[in-house]
Amino acid sequence: MNGAVDFPLERAELSFRAAGDSLVRRSVLPSGVRILSEQVPGARSATIGFWVAVGSRDEQPADARHPSTFGSTHFLEHLLFKGTQKRTALDIAVSFDAVGGEHNAMTAKEYTCYYAKVQDRDLPMAVEVLADMFTSSLLDRDEFENERDVILEEIAMAGDDPADAANERFFEAVLGGHPLGRPIGGSPETIRAVTRDAVWDHYGENYRPNDLVVTVAGAVDHDALVAAVTTHLEGAGWDLGIAASPVPRRNNQPADIVRGSAISITQKPIEQVNLYLGTTGLVATDERRVTMSVLNAIFGAGMSSRLFQEIRERRGLAYSVYSFAPAYSDAGLFGLYAGCAPAKAGQVAELMLDELRTLARDGVTPLEIERAAGQLGGASALALEDSDTRMSRLGRAEITLGEFADLDEGLRRIARVTPDDVRALAQSIVDRPFSLAAVGATSADVFANVVDVATPTDDAA
Amino acid sequence: MNGAVDFPLERAELSFRAAGDSLVRRSVLPSGVRILSEQVPGARSATIGFWVAVGSRDEQPADARHPSTFGSTHFLEHLLFKGTQKRTALDIAVSFDAVGGEHNAMTAKEYTCYYAKVQDRDLPMAVEVLADMFTSSLLDRDEFENERDVILEEIAMAGDDPADAANERFFEAVLGGHPLGRPIGGSPETIRAVTRDAVWDHYGENYRPNDLVVTVAGAVDHDALVAAVTTHLEGAGWDLGIAASPVPRRNNQPADIVRGSAISITQKPIEQVNLYLGTTGLVATDERRVTMSVLNAIFGAGMSSRLFQEIRERRGLAYSVYSFAPAYSDAGLFGLYAGCAPAKAGQVAELMLDELRTLARDGVTPLEIERAAGQLGGASALALEDSDTRMSRLGRAEITLGEFADLDEGLRRIARVTPDDVRALAQSIVDRPFSLAAVGATSADVFANVVDVATPTDDAA
């Protein structure tokens, strides 16, 4: 390969060598099923994922006739482990446990993925069981009610984690009414309200041949994989003979975001204030994403970052402090986090913002860029030793980006980032309306001077 | 190799092939420095650790002249990142960040380990920087005071995590006054009381040639490693010409444990009750450790385990539920965990104990043993793909076990476990005095019928 490889949605067979001599192959079946593999020389295990490009953002608010479907994507994910025409929940669990495999699923804001990591000899089993779960789950009514209680406990556990809770409030504060602002799992109220019929409809409407993306990385033979996936889908009664195009990718234009709130406080009688501060970022396909990676590395990722050095090393104000920049199809965020003592929360918020303003005003040095490039490249190389990372990279390339860039191409892109690029991006970020979300023994007045509560784009609601 | 390889403390050079054709080599230098490596064919990265067999259990209570040193081991671990004769804290951070390496340390109850994972070309740098931190840290007085605040925030963060907090209370409840029962990081009170002189003494007394164990796994050449370690230790002024034997391993006889408390309740206004229930287990060198692994796999590890199936799948009472069996030199634990609604906490505790009693009474099936063997073997094979796991295995072999057993030997040992072995071990566990630790909106009377509060071995205090 040379540079990035496009993944067109139209039917195509693609095959190319990526950095490190792995073999990437991609097949789009006539029915729209997409199968991608990355065969890694010397690998003795494989990670496999069954994906659909549907996440919590696609759920519907309540209307006159139906309760909201908030949380139903995650609910469905749980139910796919609860039994099929052929397998009980215990059968599914035993299949993977008995070979020591890892086996789980993740519901995200824009996709859902069921995955397993197994030794090479167990890959055929993993294909078969995941295909069975994906095509033939029963969503039994008794299991549905039982699982409702499990999910309520999962939400309660996350609610008891103050950093998790603050993170959800932060997304709501920055993204306002945009569907990406909602928590992935729903709320106790929406989970109690979701009906089995709504989840069943969701399953039927979004788990079809042209929704399915299968990605495998590690010890995998592409032809055998395609044959196995085809066999198990057809064995489940799926008609792969019908012609269908894969579901279109999402619109990647930045949405108009109206800030939800300037300050969101959740008072809790705990030791630390969990503090998130930030604003909108870049969409996943923005060409400045690589600049954002460099900016984030310099500003807040790692022990040598400016944020870590200033807040923890010089001042001892926090143990955990960092920045992050999640990106989605039509919105992104740039956020700062610190956990600190309540008496220091206002000071920490101001210092973090000051650091960002300093970077936006004075820029970064070529040496900082060079170190960031080494950091991003080295971390990627280490991460790609794990087939999990490669499996996810294939899914992200297919579902979100529409192109595959290997490690060498990633390094080339990073090498083109200049100090001016970083400063310009930082400048555009600091000019946006900021939001602050805090969970702990604190109050809004502590942060009154930190965040501008009235801006032209502020939501009056 | 055939079976396990002994690691005698006396001076010796050892070299053997382990399962998967990795090459294990071990050198004990005349000064007592121990250097172990596992060269893995095809590896492109390496993980390196600098270990000392000193942990929180070795700290001293207050006496008439000194405050306690509780927390000083963890405090020292932090300070080794804060600067040496040659490097500032920023220099140390930049060394690893600029190559995208992972770089951290862990303080445990019986050891402390400073480690890094890097690409093969960066291993010489990692050896140099870790050796500098290990030998030549300044423990600057200003940095000391600054880091005290950081550690207080770390403790606050852990205290706000209800499962973490309950876990610490559980260890205290089961192990009572035994030093392994104490929290690793100390408490806010002991951290405020620790003096720089006490930490400096700890550093001087426990970071000597015959304390040091260096382990590396992945892309490593043993001779080059030994040469580099020797060069950097001598460059720091260490005299490796003096003759010294490695510090002796700990006494591995089971200690007499007097239960700290039957029921420990920490009331917090949170959603879930975080519930730990259990008793003493096996020491790390007990021959029944492999039986314990099989018992734990069947009873409470994985989605197919009895605990998961009964508490979550059949009854929907918890999202997270499992058992665990940590082992130390002279004590161990067997514990059950669930996070559940306050109204269900008593029921969950009873059901978990019932499951254990059922297993102890009726035993397990050959099929369950077979699945557990597959689970343990497969999970080990996957874990050993990561050089982190191999680096830690070398450290554990050297510091705790005194022998190295590879994957094949592990499988052979598991294959010898019988249903009778498992039942006998389970029976011996259920007969011990149990403790329960709960953090959440609950109270002791909820569990009055679960744990026998008065037993012959109960601590009257």
E strand or H helix at A23, and its extent? strand A22-28
The answer to whether residue B189 neighbours chain A at the CB level (below 8 Å) is no
Chain B, window 44-103: residues with a beta carbon less than 8 angstroms from a chain A beta carbon = 44-45, 81-82, 89-90, 92-94, 96-103
Residue B100 to residue A161, Cβ atoms within 8 A = no
Q: Determine which one of B10, B13, B59, B77 is catalytic.
A: B77
Count helices and strands in chain B by DSSP H and E runs: 15, 14
Cβ-contact A52, A211 below 8 angstroms: yes
**What does the pLDDT average to over B38-61?**
97
**Contact state of A89 with B313 under an 8 Å Cβ cutoff:** yes
- H or E stretch including B438? strand B435-440
Q: How far apart are CA A278 and CA B281, in angstroms?
A: 48
Nearest by Cα to B54 from B84, B81, B75, B29:
B75
Cβ contacts of residue B130 below 8 Å, gap of 6+?
A: B48, B50, B114, B116
Give dist(CA B54, CA B392) in Å, integer.
16
Cβ contact A357:A337 at 8 Å: no
Examine the pLDDT at A459 and tell me if it is beyond 70. Answer: no
pLDDT digits 0-9 by tens, B118-136: 999 999 999 999 999 999 9
Q: Residue B454: pLDDT above 80?
A: no
Using alpha carbons only, how large is chain A's radius of gyration in Å? Answer: 23
Backbone angles phi, psi at A230, to 5 degrees: -60, -45
> pLDDT tens, B376-420?
999 999 999 999 999 999 999 999 999 999 999 999 999 999 999
Contact A42 B44 (CB under 8 A): no
| DSSP structure class, residue B217 | E
3-state secondary structure of A85: coil
CATH of B9-235, one of 1.10.760.10, 3.30.830.10, 3.40.50.280, 3.40.50.10470: 3.30.830.10
Domain at A263-454, CATH from 3.30.830.10, 3.90.1150.10, 2.60.120.260, 3.40.50.300:
3.30.830.10
Residues near B244 by beta carbon (within 8 Å), at least 6 away in sequence: B30, B31, B32, B209, B210
Q: How far apart are CA B133 and CA A31, in angstroms?
A: 59
Contacts of A269 in chain B (CB under 8 A): 269
> Residue A187 is encoded by which pair of tokens?
């709320």
**B232 exposed, middle or buried (CB, 10 Å; 0-12, 13-18, 19+)?**
buried
B77 among known catalytic residues: yes
A435 pLDDT more than 60 = yes
Residues of A in contact with B152 (CB under 8 A): 341
Instruction: Supply the pLDDT for residue B221.
Output: 98
Q: Any chain B CB within 8 A of the CB of A381?
A: yes
H or E, element range at B334: strand B333-340
Q: pLDDT at position B461, please?
A: 37
Q: Where are the domains of chain B?
A: 9-235, 263-454
Residue A254 has pLDDT above 50, yes or no: yes
Q: Where are the alpha helices (DSSP H) in B194-301?
A: 196-206, 222-235, 289-300
A375 and B160 within 8 Å at the Cβ level: the answer is no
Tell me whether B248 touches chain A (CB under 8 Å).
Answer: no
Cβ of B309 within 8 Å of Cβ of A93? The answer is yes
CB pairs < 8 Å spanning A and B: 196
- Fold equal for B9-235 and B263-454: yes
Query: Is there a contact between B230 and B240 (Cβ–Cβ < 8 Å)?
Result: yes
- The two structure tokens encoding residue A101: 């495999």
Which tens digit of pLDDT belongs to each residue from A321-370? 999 999 999 999 999 999 999 999 999 999 999 999 999 999 999 999 99
Interface of B with A in 384-443 (CB under 8 A): 385-386
Are A375 and B98 in contact (CB < 8 Å)? yes
The secondary structure of B52-66 as a DSSP string is ES--GGG-----SSS
Question: Do residues A87 and A215 lie in contact, with contact meaning Cβ atoms separated by under 8 Å?
Answer: no
Mutation choice for B interface testing from A150, A187, A268 by most B CBs within 10 A? A150
Tell me the catalytic residues of A: 77
List A138's β-bridge partners, or say none: none
Overall pTM > 0.90: yes
Which pLDDT band holds residue B426 (cuts at 50, 70, 90)?
very high
Query: Is residue A456 scored above 50 in pLDDT?
Result: no
The predicted model gives B94-100 an average pLDDT of: 98
B43 vs B38: CA distance, rounded Å: 11
Share of chain A above pLDDT 70, in %: 98
Amino acid, single-letter form, for residue B237: G
Is B309 in Cβ contact with A147 (below 8 Å)?
no
Q: Average of pLDDT values for A413-422?
A: 98
- Nearest CB among B153, B316, B320 relative to A341 is that of B153
Query: What value, to the nearest 5°, has the Cα angle with vertex B41 and ends B35 and B42?
Result: 120
CA-based nearest residue to A96, from A85, A109, A105:
A105
Question: Closest to B100 (Cβ–Cβ): which among A154, A316, A376?
Answer: A376
Chain B residues within 8 A of A101 when measuring between CB atoms? 378, 382
Residue B65 has a pLDDT of: 87
Mean pLDDT, chain B, whole residue set: 96
Q: Is the pLDDT of residue A213 over 80?
A: yes
Phi, psi of A22 (to 5 degrees): -75, 155
Q: How far apart are CA B37 and CA B289, in angstroms?
A: 25
